[in-house]
Amino acid sequence: MFCTKPYNVGNFLRAVAKKIHFTDFTGGRTGGLLYFSSGSAPWNAPYDFVLAPFNDSTATCALITEHGPALAAVVMEPMLGSGGCVPADAAFAQQVFSATHAAGAVFIADEVMTSRHGASGMFHLLGVKPDITTFGKYIGGGFSFGAFGGRSELLDFYDTSPETARTTVLSHAGTFNNNVASMTAGCVVLREVFTADTAVAHTARGDDFRKSVAAVLARSGLPVSVSGFGSMMSLHTLATAPRNAYEVAQRDSVLQELLYLGLLERGVYSASRGMMNLNLPHTDDQLAEVLAALTDTLTSLRGV
C-alpha cells in the first residue's frame, strides 16, 4: 500500500483492532507525528502510547504484558535512526516480537531508514518477520513517499471490491497515495540501481567503514565512539557506544558540537547530532578523506 507518510498505518490498526494503545520506544522517531526523543512530543498523532526502554527485554516485555488487552500494536525500529543509530540486539528484537504476539497485538516494523540493509530489511537480519513493515525516504528519492505491506489478513481490510464479505472495509483515498512520480522512480531504482545484491554489498561496505572509524576513535584517546549498522552510523562523545536513548542523552554536548564543526571545517558534513550515512556514489578515496579529517579533528580536540 502506498501513502504519503507511512505512519498512516496507525489509523488503520485503530480501526481494525478496535484497541487504543500502542507501544513505541524512548528515542524512537516513527515519522514527524510519532516522535519520542524524550517522551511523547505535544504535536504527536493522538494515539495512546506506552513508551518502552530500547534494548531492555525484561522491562519492555513486562509493559507489553501489562497493557496487552488494550494493546493494538508495538511499533519498533530495528535501529533507532534519528535517536543515535542504536541497533537493537537480535535477542531483544525476537523477545519483543514474541511478547507482542502473545499479547494478541500486531508487530509493526518501522524500516523507513533501515530497509536499505537488505532485500527483506534489517529485522530479517535480526531473525524477526514483522506483521506489517513501513517504508519511505530513500525509495522516493526526495519526493513524498510512503508505503507499507504485511500479512494479507490485515491488508485485506483495504479490499473495497463489491464481493468482499467484510463488515469493516477501509478506504485508502488521498491525493498523494498514488504519487506516480515517486513510485515510478522508486521502482526503477530498486530494479536497476539498488538491487538486492547491491544492498547486501552496501551494508557490508558500511560495516567495514564503521570499523575503520572505530579504529580512528580508539587511537585518539578521547571519549568518542561510533554506533550503527551497515551504511548508517553515528558519532557519540561517549567512551562506549550507547545501547539506548538514555545513554545517548549522556553525551558531552560541547565536545559533540566541536566534533561536528571540526569535520565541517575540513570538508566533511555529518548531521550535527553525529549521524553519517554512506551513499552508493561514495568512492574509497572519499571515505579515506573522511577518516583523515576525523583523525585531524580529534587531534585538534585533545586537551580542549
The whole-number mean pLDDT for each consecutive block of 10 residues of the chain, a chain of 304 residues, reads 63 56 56 52 62 93 90 90 95 97 93 93 97 86 82 84 71 73 88 95 98 98 98 98 94 98 98 96 98 98 85
223: nearest Cα among 239, 240, 241: 239
pTM over 0.75, yes/no: yes
Residues 6+ away with beta carbon under 8 Å from 40 = 49, 51
CATH 3.40.640.10 domain span(s) along the chain: 2-193
Q: What is the CATH number of domain 2-193?
A: 3.40.640.10
- What is the pLDDT at residue 297? 98
- What is the pLDDT at residue 203? 98
Residues 6+ away with beta carbon under 8 Å from 108 = 9, 13, 73, 74, 75, 76, 130, 131, 132, 133, 134
- What is the pLDDT at residue 61? 95
Burial grade of 6 (CB within 10 A; 0-12, 13-18, 19 or more): buried
CATH 3.90.1150.10 domain span(s) along the chain: 196-301
- What is the pLDDT at residue 28? 53
**What ranges in the chain are assigned the alpha helix state H?**
9-17, 57-67, 90-102, 121-125, 152-155, 180-188, 196-220, 245-248, 253-265, 284-301
- What is the pLDDT at residue 48? 72
Cell of 28: 524512537
CATH superfamily, domain at 196-301: Aspartate Aminotransferase, domain 1 (3.90.1150.10)
- What is the pLDDT at residue 241? 98
- What is the pLDDT at residue 9? 60
93: nearest Cα among 72, 67, 114: 114
- What is the pLDDT at residue 29? 52
